[in-house]
């Protein structure tokens, strides 16, 4: 019997070459795309993990500060902790939630922990913390790295949406691909119920039929699936190579090397095989419910279980419309899966494109829109105090000779301002007070503690700034940027500002940030209890608050490439004043490690550089490229001057805007290429599915169409019916997907606080329209191929087949 099963299988395959070729190509294409998508996404994921590790290290959790030997041993003895490594980290790199030890300098000691099983990392760290009696602020996690393994740590408030989005799209698309294989196989199997009925009628047991079906499935699909999976890996390798070639030179990227995991291969093949097996099982199940005679007679027939009308189609297109509607309804299961699959692929495609467009718009807001006109050359001078930088005047003179209009040396510091309640502006009070807007702490009758940021400018730069904002230039006080984001009436994307304080105060009292944690305020000269009496190394002067004279208020920030905290009261002051007031101790105010030099070129150079920054594309202007090169060369000359003046005495990093723009453009180009490839893959998957469905659908309709023709339907009417079906098959997923996509996009727009009109103006209409056109095009091709075959077939043959059945 076994031998006879094989005979049947091979005879069916050889006699139904068209159907077999269709199943084999569907299996090949689907497994190829599945494998390609898996390997591509796997590589993107590996690349992202590597980037995170390169940037921030491969540790998974951390204990901040020193631990005793006994504590070290306890940590190492934890079952899930694979290893612990002692190291140190720069204070500024630590998250704000971390409690930095008082004695810490610029770097703090840390214990980097690595775990065996990441899924229990949070619980384990809580246990470690409990056992060692650690304060809550001494433990931190590598949130970003852990999120790459789908581990969310409580308290991590960043959205980290990209990986779940990838995973979701991947799942959707895989499901869609599985449906491609299933559809194609199911159609072929359905057509075979007739033959299986004959087999059953001559005594084949259900088991033998099942075996024969599975043998056929294996014989048809095994090779295409293996070949498709291998080709997919090859395709993935090719894509990664191309990506590497395109984006390899971009700064900030590391080398992309193709990686592959055996598990992906096993998973791809397993999913494909399982789909085929299930698809083979379905007709066997169907057959079990029929008598052999029923199977022989009417298996291939498209039947409706209930009487249905297609009144709309009938009214619009006549009997052809009704026939088309009923034919689709009779195949509604296959059509449904195909629609779902295409809808998912289309949704994935449209949502991904829109997501990246939203990111683009968002990036342009957070970066280019804000900083495009405030710098041309930026130099970071590492580990330096601005008051020690005696070169500022000479440097400014040198760069201005080279065409710079402005050169400012500055450094930032973090402090806390103590503002009496009566000095808070009426606008802020009207909006619910500082507590509501900024969550500031009110200390009884003494007022509010507000985060303050200091921008210490070189004296010439400060005088220049005073002139710009219309204040008589003088060096004996600070300028307060007197605005606060009105978070009640505006969002972070389009912020509106109101005055922070009343502009009648002659000074501000500042103190170290630590006071915020201690919850106390000081009078001028009063000792900051945050330093603690036990700390004898901190002198009394250091513990004292600092009164800064204020010479004016403004709402214009100095033209620097800086972003300030939303609710901070920013004080801009000259370095000479800072030097006098802070003395040798700085009053506990934390000054950043690095200082910066910002150079702005004169108007001509600036216009050029701004033109390249994306908002004004002027590349078509004659001679623009030459001018661009000139601008770049001028900026490079400025950089050279800075390098000459500052090295080797200072450790500096310098960058110019044109260069950064070029590098950024290249990175965005590479990024868009990746997104393009990914979205094209999604589109191909959807189209492959609808194509395979349509081809399968057409294959089983020979008899049905012969019947129409026999009662007088003309070929033109038949084509009309096909056209109606084509529009329904292709149009339905599009009609379902468009509102769904709009809903998802609206949700994303709302989440990102962007103005919807801004997105809709730049929405990726062209690729979406191209996808829709491709869907219609491929369905039309499938109908063209299938329809031509049906019309070419001999009507007599089709009718005779029926007669001999």
Partner 1 sequence: MEILKCDNIKKVYGSGDNQVKALDGINLSVEKGEFVAIVGASGSGKSTLLHILGGVDAPTEGQVMVDGTDISTMNRTQAAIFRRRKVGFVYQFYNLIPTLTVRRNIQMPLLLDKKKVNEEYFMQVVTSLGIEEKLDFLPSQLSGGQQQRTAIARSLLYRPALLLADEPTGNLDRKNGEEIVDLLKLSNRNLKQTIILITHDEKVALEADRIITIEDGHIIADRKRGDSYEKKR
Q: Residues interacting with partner 1, by CB under 8 A?
A: 301-304, 306-308, 318-319, 322-323, 326-327, 329-330, 704, 707-717, 791, 794-796, 799-800, 802-803, 805
Instruction: Output 327 or 768, the one with its CB closest to partner 1.
Output: 327
Diameter over CA atoms, the chain: 110
| Min dist. Cβ of residue 233 to partner 1 (A) | 45
The string of DSSP letters for 170-232 reads HHHHHHHHHHHHHHHHHHHHHHTHHHHHHHHHTT--HHHHHHHHHHHHHHHHHHHHHHHHHHH
Ordered alpha helix ranges (H), 485-602: 514-518, 540-543, 575-582
Residue with tokens 């008899």: 703
Q: Return the number of the residue (165 or 302) whose C-beta is nearest partner 1.
A: 302
Closer residue to partner 1, CB minimum distance, 155 or 715 = 715
Q: CB 14 → partner 1: shortest distance, Å?
A: 20
- Minimum gap (Å) between residue 295 Cβ and partner 1: 15
User: Residue 667 CB, nearest distance to partner 1 (Å)?
Assistant: 56
Measured between alpha carbons, how far is 296 from 329 in angstroms, rounded to an integer?
23
Q: Compute the least distance from the CB of residue 362 to partner 1, in Å.
A: 51
Q: What phi, psi does 65 have (nearest 5°)?
A: 95, 175
In angstroms, the CA 535 to CA 592 distance is 23
Q: Which two tokens stand for residue 689?
A: 């599915």
DSSP state, 492?
Answer: S
Nearest approach, Cβ of 328 to partner 1 (angstroms)? Answer: 9
**C-alpha to C-alpha distance for 452 and 415, rounded to whole angstroms:** 5
- Encoded tokens for 373: 């006109």
Residue 353's nearest CA partner among 51, 681, 778 is 681
Q: Which is nearer to partner 1, 750 or 800 (CB)?
A: 800
3-class DSSP state of 416: strand
The count of other CB atoms within 10 Å of the CB of residue 365 is 17
Min CB(283)–partner 1 separation in Å: 19
Q: How far is the CB of 739 from partner 1 (least distance, A)?
A: 29
CA pair distance 505, 550, nearest whole angstrom = 7
Q: Which is nearer to partner 1, 88 or 294 (CB)?
A: 294
Contact 425, 416 (CB under 8 A): no
Least gap, CB of 707 to partner 1 (angstroms): 5
Nearer residue to partner 1 within complex by CB, 524 or 802? 802
Q: Is 275 or 331 the residue whose CB approaches partner 1 more closely?
A: 331
- What's the CA gap between 372 and 479, in Å, rounded? 24
Task: Tell me how far, at minimum, the Cβ of 263 lies from partner 1, in Å.
Answer: 47
CB of 267 to partner 1, least distance (A): 41
Fill in the DSSP letter of residue 152: P
Residue with tokens 């500024």: 92
Residue 15 or residue 308: which is nearer to partner 1 going by CB? 308
Q: How far is C-alpha 49 from the geometric centre of its chain's CA atoms?
A: 14
Tokens representing residue 663 in the block: 């590098």
Of the pair 295, 450, the CB lying nearest partner 1 is at: 295
| Omega before residue 648 within 30° of 0, cis | yes
**Nearer to partner 1 (CB atom), residue 345 or residue 705:** 705
Q: Which is nearer to partner 1, 96 or 303 (CB)?
A: 303
d(CA 608, CA 195): 76
With respect to partner 1, which residue has the nearer C-beta, 610 or 791? 791
CB of 297 to partner 1, least distance (A): 9
Neighbours of 477 (CB within 10 A): 20
Tokens of 472: 């008589």
Enumerate residues 6+ apart whose C-beta is below 8 A from 410. Answer: 386, 455, 456, 457, 458, 461, 558, 560, 595, 596, 598
């Amino acid at each position: 019997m076994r031998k006879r099963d094989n005979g049947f299988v091979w005879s069916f395959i050889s006699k139904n070459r068209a159907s077999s070729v269709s199943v084999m190509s569907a299996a090949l294409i689907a497994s190829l795309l599945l494998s390609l998508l898996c390997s591509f996404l796997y590589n993107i994921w590996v690349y992202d993990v590597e980037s995170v590790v390169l940037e921030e290290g491969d540790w998974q959790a951390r204990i901040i500060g020193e631990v005793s030997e006994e504590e070290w041993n306890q940590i190492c003895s934890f079952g899930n902790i694979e290893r612990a490594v002692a190291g140190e980290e720069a204070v500024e790199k630590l998250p704000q939630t971390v409690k930095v030890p008082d004695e810490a300098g610029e770097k703090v000691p840390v214990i980097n922990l690595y775990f065996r099983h990441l899924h229990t990392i949070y619980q384990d760290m809580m246990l470690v913390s409990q056992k060692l009696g650690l304060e809550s602020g001494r433990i931190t996690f590598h949130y970003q790295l852990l999120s790459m393994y789908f581990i969310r740590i409580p308290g991590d408030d960043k959205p980290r949406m990209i990986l779940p989005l990838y995973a979701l799209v991947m799942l959707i698309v895989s499901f869609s691909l599985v449906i491609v294989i299933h559809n194609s196989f199911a159609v072929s199997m359905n057509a075979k119920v007739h033959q299986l009925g004959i087999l059953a009628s001559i005594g084949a047991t259900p088991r033998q039929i099942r075996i024969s079906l599975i043998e056929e499935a294996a014989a048809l699909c095994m090779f295409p699936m293996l070949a498709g999976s291998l080709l997919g890996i090859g395709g993935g390798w090719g894509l990664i190579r191309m990506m590497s070639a395109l984006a390899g030179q971009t700064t900030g990227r590391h080398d992309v090397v193709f990686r592959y995991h055996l598990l992906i291969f096993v998973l791809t093949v397993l999913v494909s095989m399982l789909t085929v097996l299930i698809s083979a099982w379905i007709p066997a199940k169907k057959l079990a419910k029929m008598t052999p005679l029923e199977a022989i007679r009417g298996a291939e027939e498209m039947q409706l279980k209930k009487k249905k009308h297609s009144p709309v189609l009938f009214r619009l297109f006549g009997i052809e419309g009704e026939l088309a509607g009923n034919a689709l309804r009779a195949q509604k299961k296959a059509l449904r899966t195909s629609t779902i699959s295409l809808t998912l692929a289309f949704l994935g495609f449209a949502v991904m494109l829109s997501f990246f467009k939203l990111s683009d718009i968002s990036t342009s807001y957070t970066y280019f829109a804000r900083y495009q006109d405030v710098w041309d050359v930026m130099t970071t001078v590492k580990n330096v105090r601005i008051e020690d930088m005696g070169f500022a005047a000479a440097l400014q003179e040198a760069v201005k000779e080279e065409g710079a209009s402005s050169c400012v040396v500055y450094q930032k510091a973090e402090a806390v301002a103590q503002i009496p309640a009566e000095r808070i502006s009426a606008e802020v009070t009207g909006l619910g007070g500082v507590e509501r807007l900024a969550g500031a702490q009110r200390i009884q009758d003494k007022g509010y503690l507000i985060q303050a940021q200091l921008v210490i400018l070189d004296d010439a730069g400060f005088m220049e700034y005073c002139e710009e904002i219309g204040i008589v230039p003088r060096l004996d006080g600070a300028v307060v940027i007197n605005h606060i984001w009105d978070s009640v009436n505006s969002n972070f994307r389009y912020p509106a500002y109101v005055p922070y304080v009343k502009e009648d105060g002659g000074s501000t009292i500042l103190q170290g940030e630590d006071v915020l944690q201690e919850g106390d305020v000081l009078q001028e000269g009063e000792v900051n209890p945050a330093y603690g009496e036990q700390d004898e190394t901190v002198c009394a002067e250091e513990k004292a608050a600092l009164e800064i004279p204020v010479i004016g208020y403004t709402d214009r920030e100095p033209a620097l490439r800086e972003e300030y905290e939303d609710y901070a009261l920013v004080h801009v002051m000259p370095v000479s004043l800072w030097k006098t007031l802070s003395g040798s101790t700085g009053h506990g105010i934390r000054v950043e490690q690095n200082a910066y030099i910002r150079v702005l070129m004169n108007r001509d150079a600036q216009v050029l550089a701004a033109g390249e920054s994306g908002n004004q594309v002027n590349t078509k202007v004659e001679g623009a490229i030459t001018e661009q090169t000139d601008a770049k060369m001028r900026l490079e000359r400025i950089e050279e001057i800075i390098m000459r003046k500052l090295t080797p005495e200072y450790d500096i990093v310098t960058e110019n805007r044109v260069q950064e723009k070029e590098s950024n453009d290249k990175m965005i180009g590479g990024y868009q290429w990746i997104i393009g490839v990914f979205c094209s893959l999604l589109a191909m998957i959807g189209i492959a599915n609808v194509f395979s469905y349509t081809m399968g659908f057409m294959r089983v309709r020979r008899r049905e169409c012969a019947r129409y023709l026999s009662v007088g339907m003309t070929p033109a009417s038949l084509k009309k019916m096909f056209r109606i079906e084509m529009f329904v098959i292709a149009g339905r997923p599009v009609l379902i997907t468009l509102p769904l996509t709009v809903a998802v996009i609206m949700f994303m727009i709302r989440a990102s606080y962007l103005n919807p009109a801004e997105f809709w103006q730049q929405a990726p209409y062209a690729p979406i329209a191209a996808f829709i056109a491709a869907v219609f095009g491929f369905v039309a091709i499938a109908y063209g191929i299938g329809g031509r075959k049906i019309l070419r077939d001999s009507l007599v043959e089709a009718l005779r087949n029926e007669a001999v059945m």
